Amino acid sequence: MKMHEAVAQWRKVCPLDQIPRLGARVVNTPQGDVALFRTAEDEVFALHDRCPHRGGPLSQGIVFGRNVACPLHNWSIGLADGQAAAPDNGCTATFQVKVDGFDVYLLV
């Protein structure tokens, strides 16, 4: 863990328009697969690509508002905090992400 923190840096991923609105892309990183989401308002969020429930790939889910519905059992996960919506209970890791100009950067 220390190792990763030590080398964490902003890495350029792709231009924003390569992520569909209300959609996601998968990014392979040294810390595993990260799901990169884009909302209708062009906000970008990044979550570990695993649902806290049964490990479903969140990147494949339907994005609505600032949430994504897991494709396996329809848990709703908040994009900003990785929290499952009540009454479900669980949390998935979030990553820092920013848009600079046309490009999306991920802190890994």
Q: Which residues bind other proteins (CB under 8 A)?
A: 11-14, 18-23, 25-29, 33, 36, 39-41, 54, 56-57, 60-65, 67, 69, 71-74, 76, 87, 106, 108
Q: How far is the CB of 26 from other proteins (least distance, A)?
A: 5
CB of 59 to other proteins, least distance (A): 9
Measured between alpha carbons, how far is residue 43 from residues 17, 40, 65 in Å? 12, 7, 10
Report in angstroms how near the CB of residue 71 gets to other proteins at its nearest.
Answer: 4
Question: Which residues have C-beta within 8 Å of that of residue 105, sequence separation ≥ 6?
Answer: 10, 11, 12, 13, 97, 98, 99
